[in-house]
Amino acid sequence: ELRLVGLMAAVIPLAEAVARGLDSGWSLTTTLTLAIISATVAADAIIRRQRHEFYASLGLVVLTIWSIWLDAAIIEEQAYILPFGLLLLGIGWAERHEQHQARFQMASWLGLILLLGSSFLQSLPREALGYTALASFEAFVALVIGIRAHSRHYVLAGGVALLATTLAQIGPAFIDLSRWAQLGITGTILLAAGLLALFRKEQLLATRRRLASEWRQWDV
């Protein structure tokens, strides 16, 4: 078909643009070439209602965004990670809409690990307050989305990331405290938990059973 010939012909300037960018640096010409090709592939995918071809066009959009950042000499890792991570999550939700649970899980896990994992690792240095805020925000958003959409892996990923970020920030400060302060804080937490379990035992058990029942009905 002429359509296939045209799409295959688009691979030539695409490969040439990428090669030129890798060899002599990314330029406005490279970015415009990528943008035109991505728009062409997207238009063909929309007209023919080809979901996977549309995913490919979005991948080219991400490559175009990267080209813009490289041309502007932006070296911030999150500027490159965020577009690709969000693309993976978007593909996951599209596959969920099409009732493809395995693809939804695979794309979502890849996106969540990329986004949450990268921001968590960058938040580990004590002076990285911006990355700490980003890691906490991303984890909280993933947790909320998981609860609203009844998605277990979003809840698990968001919950684990939020807990890990909190422990990574509070842990060193707790270790720096005196031994008496550590014992006092630990004892207070244990006492409060014990009193809560003693006086709210039935309510806690009922809540646990209800949440466990709802959890089993959610998507994996």
pLDDT by 10s per residue, the chain, length 220:
545 555 555 565 666 666 666 565 566 677 777 788 888 888 888 888 888 888 988 998 998 898 888 888 888 999 999 999 999 999 999 998 888 888 999 999 999 999 999 999 998 887 778 899 999 999 999 999 988 888 888 988 999 999 898 888 887 665 666 666 656 666 666 666 665 655 666 665 666 666 566 666 666 5
pLDDT, position 2: 46
What's residue 16's pLDDT? 63
Report yes or no on 122 lying in a domain: no
Task: Give the pLDDT confidence score for residue 220 in this predicted structure.
Answer: 55
Any domain includes 68: yes
Please report the pLDDT score of residue 134 as a whole number. 92
Is residue 120 situated within a structural domain? no
The DSSP call for residue 219 is B
- What range does the domain containing 33 cover? 1-75
* pLDDT of res. 216: 66
Res 51: pLDDT: 87
pTM of model > 0.95: no
Nearest to 123 by CA among 110, 108, 139: 139
pLDDT at 48: 83
Give the pLDDT of residue 39. 86
Q: Which amino acid is at 116?
A: L
Q: Which of 58, 75, 92 is the last residue of a domain?
A: 75
Residue that is last in its domain, among 47, 75, 103:
75
User: Who contacts 104 (Cβ-Cβ below 8 Å, separation ≥6)?
Assistant: 92, 93, 95, 96, 219
Q: Is 155 left (phi over 0), alpha (psi -120 to 50) or beta?
A: alpha
Residue 82 lies in a domain: no
Residues in Cβ contact with 65 at an 8 Å cutoff, skipping those fewer than 6 apart? 83
Residue where one domain finishes, among candidates 21, 50, 75: 75
Count of domains for the chain: 2
* Residue 45 belongs to some domain of the structure: yes
Q: What is the per-residue pLDDT across 154-173, written as a single tens digit (0 to 9) for each?
A: 988 999 999 898 888 887 66
